[in-house]
Amino acid sequence: WFWWAVAEAAAEGTGNRAPNRAAQVATAVSETPRDSTWAQIPNAWYELTPEDLDVGEDRGVCGINSLTVTSKASACRLRIAFPQGRRAVCSGWIIGTDTVGTAGHCIYNKEAGGYARQIYVDCGEEDACEASDDTYNAVKWVTTEGWIENGHTEGCSRFSNDGAVIKVDRTFRRRDVLTVEPYSCERNIDFTVTGYPGSTGQECSSYTSCVQKTASGSIMCPSSILNGCGLLSSSTLDGCAGMSGSALINSSSKKVVGIYAAQRMGFICANYYAFLTEGPSEEGVDIWDLQDALE
């Protein structure tokens, strides 16, 4: 089951890029229609119900740590409307002065009409429902070719390219930009995930997608890249619906190395992350290509 959530990552300080990288992004970038006007959609419009979430039965918290309240300026909540009426809440992270990283399934859903129609981005607050000064309108968004081609298929491998970048209408007021780096397997390293969980199920019933939460835990290495799936996994990092797109941050380097993509596939209680990669690859997300596509 995938989660409506978003991730945080940044383009600054990421080192040299591989020359002549093969483009991984989709050929089409979605933009706000020029002839449309933005109407402020109230938070109540995004109240979560089982029908709206469309993530199957509630999966609840899946990990050994409790989620704690935080107020990280780099974390964002996404409010999303799709062409066929479906609405969603995700999480994300500030990757540039006016760009946010998140999961591909947060902004592109083939069954819901393709690219999202409207996206609001609420950043840097403990309570996103009170973030009126830090609410931004998305003007462009793009995901990977891999997600567009395979996101609607069965199997865990569809999440391996589950990444996206969103450009907003102005510079972030609180610019706590996260840096990103390709994932490399390291032992005895803790990770954190920060997002805005929301759920209607018993275990997450108090999570309304308003309050920012952070979990910490470990990723088993080297067996954490699932055979045939191209994903990282963890059974110690908590997560709930609404946290899709959150940044997986290496607690040692303080850099984003992955994107929260899915949870509890099959009968295994674990959270899954698309890892960041640079250059041509069938697995992982080249976040640098996605940023270039929005220039």
pLDDT in tens, the chain (295 residues): 333 332 222 222 333 333 333 334 554 566 654 333 333 444 443 443 434 433 333 445 676 677 888 989 999 999 999 998 888 889 999 999 999 999 999 999 998 899 999 999 998 777 887 767 788 999 999 999 999 998 888 777 788 899 999 999 999 987 789 999 999 877 778 899 999 887 655 455 556 778 898 999 888 764 555 656 788 888 888 887 788 999 999 999 999 999 999 876 655 677 889 999 987 678 899 999 999 999 8
**pLDDT the model gives residue 207:** 66
Residue 268 is predicted with a pLDDT of 64
pLDDT of residue 225: 59
Residue 295 pLDDT: 82
Amino acid 134: pLDDT: 83
Q: What is the pLDDT of residue 139?
A: 95
Q: Which pLDDT score is estimated for 125?
A: 73
Write down the pLDDT at residue 162. 93
The pairing of strands 255-263 and 247-250 is antiparallel
**Predicted local confidence at residue 227, as pLDDT:** 57
- CA–CA distance, 79 with 280 (Å, rounded to integer): 31
Q: What is the pLDDT of residue 202?
A: 46
Instruction: State the sign of the Cα–Cα–Cα–Cα dihedral 23, 24, 27, 31.
Output: negative
Please tell me the predicted confidence (pLDDT) of residue 219: 84
Could you give the C-alpha distances from 97 to 94, 100, 128, in angstroms and in order? 7, 9, 19
pLDDT at 105: 93
Q: Which residues contact 285 (CB under 8 A, 6 or more apart)?
A: 24, 104, 144, 161, 162, 163, 259, 274, 275, 276, 277
